[in-house]
Structure 1
Amino acid sequence: MALRISRRAALFGTAGALAAPVISVAQAQQTFEWVAGSVGGGWYTMAAGLSSLIAEENQDLRIRVVPGGGLANSTRVNNNQSAMGWGIDTFTAAAARGEDPYSAKHENLRSLGTGYSPTEHNLVRRADGGPEGMREILTQRGLRIACPQRSSTDEMTLQRILRFFGTSPDQIRANGGRYLNGSYADIAAAYADGQVDYLYAALAKPAAILTEIGQGRRPSRLVGFPDDLRRHLIETHAYAEGRLPAATYPSLQNADLMVTTMDSVILAHHTLPDDVAYRITRTLIRNRGQRLVNIHASMGAWDPATSWRYAGVPLHPGAQRAFREAGAMPAA
């Protein structure tokens, strides 16, 4: 069959004809920013893995992951500095209402569901001396403790715990102690090096830094949360509670531990296009189970049938469509 060259190709040349599709693809591709957590933490790992999965199934979508923190992410997404982000269920609801620690209502937030990564709060202690109970540990003179940055939900929760026990970061310092903030990698290194004797972090199991601490040279143990503290955090700040099985970190615990928990929400600015929110949520639903576990073990329990029920902020219309098409959400 004879090859026919169009008049347009003849006028613009072969190079121009070949270049046209490349320009079209570049124009069609959309990039959105996802604010996650600290580099090295579970949120960053999960967002990076989901970004790759979304791009794999949606060739024209790209998700750029940037570091963030649980407290600041709600405000960042609300202000459309990032189109998407991880949020914590209790703090996202507080942001929407404009309650402590937020000073104004965050009315631009929407969600793509919750339940993506149940997160345990963890207190690690030195096992070669010192008190063993949480109250005794956190109220002792000369306490040396490390926790994530001040913009994180970890640190805000620790401050609430200290306040419940009648102390504070300033009081710790005044009593000759040390209250160290840093990235997960920084605080893990500080604990391993003996710069501090205790480490506090909210991380979904199994958390890499806790596994590494358990395999390290320093004898260490995890500490359970007292009943009265768990009740206080539930009743006052809408946290949840859970049981950390003994087999989770066998070198750090020899029994199940009762701990305070919270869960992750995928936040989106209300202007995120409906079709984009739909395709992202559809991709997550299609890959529930082992594919999400391969990204992070904590995502294995995610259930679309309950994910959409989160009432802290409205469900994005695009996510509603995806949940309904999957049969997870009743028809309108």
Structure 2
Amino acid sequence: MKKLLSTLCTTALLFSAVVGCSSSQDTSNANPQQGGASGSKSESDYKPEPSNIILASGPIGGGWYASAAAISEVLMREIPGLNVTVTEGGGVANIKDVSSGAAQIGYTFSDTFNDAVNGNGDFNGSAADNISGLSTLYQSFYQVIALEDNSKFQTLGDLKNGANILPGKKTFSGQVFTSNLLEKYYGTTYQQIEENGGKISLTGYSEMTDLLKDGHADVAMAMTDAPSSFIMELNAMKKVRFLEVDPETAKKVEESNPGYVAAQLPANTYDGQTEPVNTIGSYTVMMLSNDIPAELAERIAKAIVENKDELAQSQPSLSFVDKSTLKDGFKGAPVHPGVEAYLQ
């Protein structure tokens, strides 16, 4: 009897040991360590570095600032410990800020980014070598507007006859584009326009609205999303009309830089605009400092793409964001290694 009890106890102990080991193994398999974006560490252990990031966007009242504010909220929620501060800026200024370390993420246009990394255009001889692509956000359009009740200037070629124009602030990509477009393709310069009695005012979007509305300017230009909030605001007060970039010129511009595309602003983008408008398109893109670690870059790209529906609710143009289009705005230009890792 004692021998039988001893045998039963031994068997019970062995069974408990087997079950215990099995349970431990099952628990381990059911709850593996969840890596970060690249599976290297648990989500709870991950600490973003740097933890404080400046996101350089555009002027208040424009699409860049609004979408950057929405993206910053998503990033801070999806990457605990990350603090994102949105600042105003412009396409050219943002490249300089991100390249120098004054900002870590920035908005610009695909054409401006291409010029910067290849040392062309305004970056001739001084290529920006510390920036990489993060995300293509949406297509932007070069929009040239005047009021319907101001018929003095009907084409871009007419501006040389002394127009009062508002091409944007000095550091805006749209201003740089306007200057180059007029000189290279329409045979005039800012200086010649002013010599013929015109005026060049380098202002932001809110000032553009006031100056056009009050009759102190003839034409305003912006490379921006469509519809643009400042154009919608002006159009609600006084009807606007659009000056076109003729298709032949648009094709030449497209061939000059892979970041440009001959495009049409779709009909009915704005109230009363019943016909498409021939123009130039570019992509609004986000760039990263090369000093941002690959894992953080990967997490940022992932957060933007996987929350695109939420972002589009606050800024409809962000509905373009998708994993499949993330690199569309970076033809001939580098994308951050962390973004490449996310895309694999």
Q: Shorter-chain-normalised TM-score: which range?
A: 0.7 to 0.9
Q: 205, 210, 225: which is aligned to 2:245?
A: 225
The answer to whether structure 1 residue 62 and structure 2 residue 87 are counterparts is: no
Alpha-carbon distance change, 264 to 135 in structure 1, aligned in 2, over 3 angstroms: closer
Cα distance, 1:227 vs structure 2 = 1.4
Q: Could you list the per-position Cα deviations for residues 71-118 of structure 1 after superposition, in whole angstroms to 9, with x for gaps in the alignment?
A: 12222211222111112111111111111211312221111132x021
Equivalent pairs: percent with the same residue? 23
Change (3 A) 1:214 1:79: same
| 3-state SS of 1:263 partner | strand
User: Aligned in 2, Cα 1:279/1:38: closer, same or farther, shift over 3 Å?
Assistant: same
Q: How does 1:18-57 map to 2 (within 5 A)?
A: 30-57=51-78
Aligned to 2:118: 97
Give the superposition deviation at 1:129. Answer: 4.1
Give the structure 2 partner of residue 277 of structure 1. 297
Is residue 2:181 matched to residue 1:161?
Answer: yes
Asked if the contact 1:84/1:267 (under 8 Å) is kept, the reply is yes
Match of 2:109 among 79, 84, 88: 88
Q: 1:112 aligns with which of 134, 144, 152?
A: 134
How big is the shift at 1:40? 1.7
Whole-Å separation in 2 of the counterparts to 1:311 and 1:29: 28
Report whether the alignment pairs 1:321 with 2:341.
Answer: yes
Residue 29 of structure 1, CA deviation:
8.5
1:297 alignment partner AA: P
Q: TM-score, normalised by structure 2?
A: 0.80
Contact 1:77 1:269 survives alignment (8 Å): yes
CA contact (8 A) 1:205 1:297 kept: no
CA-CA distance at 1:128 after TM superposition? 2.0
Distance 2:130 2:55 in 1: 16
Whole-Å separation in 2 of the counterparts to 1:160 and 1:26: 44
CA distance in 2 between partners of 1:80 and 1:129 (Å): 45
Give me the whole-angstrom Cα distance separating, in 2, the residues matched to 1:303 and 1:206: 20
The alpha-carbon deviation at position 135 of structure 1 amounts to 3.2
Runs of at least 4 residues off by over 3 Å? 25-29
Q: CA deviation at 1:59?
A: 2.2
2:203 maps to which of 170, 175, 182: 182
Structure 2 gap segments, 5+ residues each: 1-45
Q: Evaluate the alpha carbon distance shift between residue 269 and residue 26 of structure 1 in structure 2; reply closer, same or farther with a 3 A threshold.
A: closer
Structure 2 CA distance for aligned equivalents of residues 46 and 120 of structure 1: 16
> For the structure 1 residues 29 and 99, does the alpha-carbon distance in structure 2 shift closer, same or farther, using more than 3 Å as the test?
closer
Residue type of the partner of 1:203?
T
TM-score by length of 1: 0.83
Which residues of structure 1 form unaligned runs of 5+?
Answer: 1-24, 325-332
Say whether the 8 Å CA contact 2:156–2:243 is kept in structure 1: no
Q: CA deviation at 1:136?
A: 4.2
Which stretch of structure 1 is more off in the superposition, 303-312 or 278-287?
A: 303-312
State the one-letter code of the partner of 2:131.
Answer: L
Distance in 1 (CA, whole Å) between partners of 2:242 and 2:106 is 30
Secondary structure of 2:317's counterpart equals helix
**1:214 partnered with 2:235:** yes
**Judging changes above 3 Å, is the alpha-carbon distance between structure 1 residues 142 and 94 closer, same or farther for their aligned structure 2 residues?**
closer
Higher mean C-alpha displacement, 161-170 vs 307-316: 307-316
1:4 match: none
Larger Rg: 2
What do the CA deviations read for 1:31-86 (whole angstroms, capped 9, x no partner)? 11111112221111111110011112222111111111111222221122211111
For 1:236 and 1:27, locate their aligned partners in 2 and report how far apart those are by CA, in whole Å: 39
Question: Matched residues in 2 for 1:171 and 1:91: separation?
Answer: 25
Q: Which amino acid aligns with 2:319?
A: G
1:29 to 1:220, Cα distance in 2 relative to 1, 3 A: closer
Aligned residue number for residue 302 of structure 1: 321
In structure 1, C-alpha distance between the alignment counterparts of 2:50 and 2:149, rounded to whole Å? 56
CA shift for structure 1 position 242: 1.9
| Counterpart mapping for 1:235-314 below 5 A | 235-238=255-258, 239-251=260-272, 253-288=273-308, 290-308=309-327, 310-314=330-334
Conserved in 2, the CA contact under 8 Å of 1:143 and 1:172? yes
CA distance, structure 2, for counterparts of residue 231 and residue 127 of structure 1: 27
| Cα distance per residue 1:281-326 (max 9 Å; x no partner) | 11112112x31212312111222113135344322122222222xx
Paired residue for 2:167?
147
CA change 1:145–1:57 in 2 (3 A) is: same
Q: CA deviation at 1:224?
A: 2.3
Deviation at 1:120, TM superposition (A): 0.6
Question: Matches of 2:327 and 2:178 in 1, distance apart?
Answer: 29
Amino acid at match of 1:84: I
SS at match of 1:72: helix
Aligned length: 296
Amino acid of the structure 2 residue aligned with 1:233: V
